[in-house]
């Protein structure tokens, strides 16, 4: 009887040792929705850092441009005696800033909402969007905002949030 209990305990310890879970991460989580608040030609590296946090990596190109990369990859692995399950999620925003420290272009987005400059609403949806006092729908308001020259970053952000209904 004692030997059976010992064997059962040893078997349970072995099963516990073989089953388990692990998590691996690369980078730091960042507020991906804030990428849409950045404006090409207007937003600076400081603006991006205040909205997204410190980049995971910065690369300097031969032409003087810098690629700032915000990245977060998380892999969760769980295993049993016979099976293993791995789930990986990735988020990345690679933004190119010119020698003047202003956003030149978006190089790459993975699981990040597209910036407003890249958002195109189908014509059928634009008629359903509420209009402002000047009679412009949301798409027209955003286009007007993008074409407005000389706005500070804070003023642009304030107006964008008003248009989008974000408080």
Same domain for 136 and 82: no
Cα dihedral 10, 13, 15, 17 sign: negative
Amino acid 55: pLDDT:
96
Same domain for 28 and 80: yes
Same domain for 124 and 101: no
> What backbone torsions phi and psi does residue 130 show, to the nearest 5 degrees?
-60, 150
In a domain, 33, yes or no: yes
Amino acid 121: pLDDT:
36
Tell me, what DSSP letter sits at residue 81? S
Amino acid 100: pLDDT:
95
| pLDDT tens sequence for the chain (167 residues) | 556 555 645 554 545 545 568 888 888 899 988 998 999 999 999 999 999 999 999 999 999 999 999 999 998 888 777 777 888 889 999 999 999 999 999 888 888 876 545 433 343 333 344 555 556 777 777 777 777 777 787 777 787 777 777 65
Amino acid 71: pLDDT:
94
In a domain, 159, yes or no: yes
Same domain for 134 and 99: no
Same domain for 30 and 107: yes
Cα atoms found within 13 Å of the Cα of residue 20, Cβ hemisphere only? 7
Same domain for 107 and 25: yes
Residues 27, 57: Cα–Cα separation, whole Å: 9
Amino acid 43: pLDDT:
93
Amino acid 102: pLDDT:
95
Q: Which of 62, 153, 164, 29 is nearest to 103 (CA)?
A: 153
DSSP for 101-155, written as a single string: SBEEEEEEEESSPPPGGG----HHHHTTSPP-TTS--HHHHHHHHHH--S--HHH
Same domain for 146 and 77: no
Tell me, what DSSP letter sits at residue 54? S
- Cβ–Cβ < 8 Å for 142, 117: no
In a domain, 6, yes or no: no
Q: How many domains does the chain have?
A: 2
Structural domain harbouring 50: 20-112
Model-level pTM? 0.56
**In the structure encoding, which two tokens stand for residue 127, read together?**
């008629």
Amino acid 24: pLDDT:
86
Write down which residue in 95, 112, 129 finishes a domain: 112
Q: Which of 143, 19, 124 is nearest to 80 (CA)?
A: 19
Same domain for 65 and 31: yes
Amino acid 50: pLDDT:
93
Same domain for 43 and 26: yes
Same domain for 95 and 40: yes
Amino acid 127: pLDDT:
39
In a domain, 13, yes or no: no
In a domain, 12, yes or no: no
Beta bridge partners of 70: 93
Same domain for 124 and 60: no
- Cβ–Cβ < 8 Å for 27, 73: yes
> What backbone torsions phi and psi does residue 22 show, to the nearest 5 degrees?
-150, 150
- Cβ–Cβ < 8 Å for 132, 141: yes
């Amino acid at each position: 009887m004692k030997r059976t209990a010992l064997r059962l305990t040893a078997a349970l310890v072995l099963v516990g040792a073989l089953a388990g879970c692990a998590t691996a991460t690369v980078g730091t989580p960042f507020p991906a929705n804030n990428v849409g608040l950045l404006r090409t030609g207007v937003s600076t590296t400081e603006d991006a850092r205040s909205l997204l946090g410190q980049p995971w990596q910065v690369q300097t190109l031969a032409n003087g441009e810098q690629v700032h990369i915000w990245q977060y990859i998380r892999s969760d692995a769980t295993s049993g005696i016979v099976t293993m399950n791995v789930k990986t999620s990735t988020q990345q925003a690679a933004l190119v800033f010119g020698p003047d420290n202003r956003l030149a272009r978006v190089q790459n987005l993975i699981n990040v909402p597209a910036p407003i400059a890249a958002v195109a609403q189908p014509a059928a949806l634009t008629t359903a969007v509420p209009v402002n006092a000047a009679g412009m729908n949301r798409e027209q308001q955003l286009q007007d905002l993008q074409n407005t020259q000389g706005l500070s970053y804070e003023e642009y952000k304030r107006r964008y949030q008003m248009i989008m209904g974000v408080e």
